[in-house]
């Protein structure tokens, strides 16, 4: 039986639930990709290219704590909410 020659730069990667994949640890180490870091992916024909970018990411990921705080601060007080509801016939 003939065995397949696999280049050191090729790996078999299983696609998990919701399309998640794991980048092999030795590749993450070589590319200096750290947990939580954003990387860029693009589809080129039938290829998927994942690359580390040197540019700053144009957005950031917010923690659940930050989001909960924003929602708490974004609530209208009851009097203002009632006035808006009456003015626009929402209730």
Give the model's pLDDT for residue 7: 58
Over the stretch 20-61, which tens digit does the pLDDT of each residue have? 999 999 999 999 999 888 889 999 999 999 988 877 667 778
**Residues β-bridged to residue 25:** none
Q: How far is CA 65 from CA 13, 70, 72, in A?
A: 33, 9, 11
pLDDT beyond 80 at 9: yes
Give how far the C-alpha of residue 4 lies from the chain's centroid of Cα atoms, to the nearest Å.
34
Give how far the C-alpha of residue 58 lies from the chain's centroid of Cα atoms, to the nearest Å.
13
Give the model's pLDDT for residue 74: 87
**Integer Rg of the chain from CA:** 24
Question: What whole-number percentage of the chain has pLDDT above 70?
Answer: 87
């Amino acid at each position: 039986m003939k065995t397949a020659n696999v280049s050191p730069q090729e790996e078999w990667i299983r696609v998990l639930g919701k399309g998640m994949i794991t980048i092999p640890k030795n590749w993450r180490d070589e590319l200096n990709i750290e947990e939580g870091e954003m990387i860029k992916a693009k589809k080129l024909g039938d290829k998927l290219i994942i690359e580390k970018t040197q540019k700053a990411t144009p957005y950031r990921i917010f923690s659940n704590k930050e989001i909960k705080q924003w929602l708490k601060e974004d609530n209208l007080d009851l009097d203002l909410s009632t006035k808006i509801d009456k003015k626009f016939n929402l209730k």
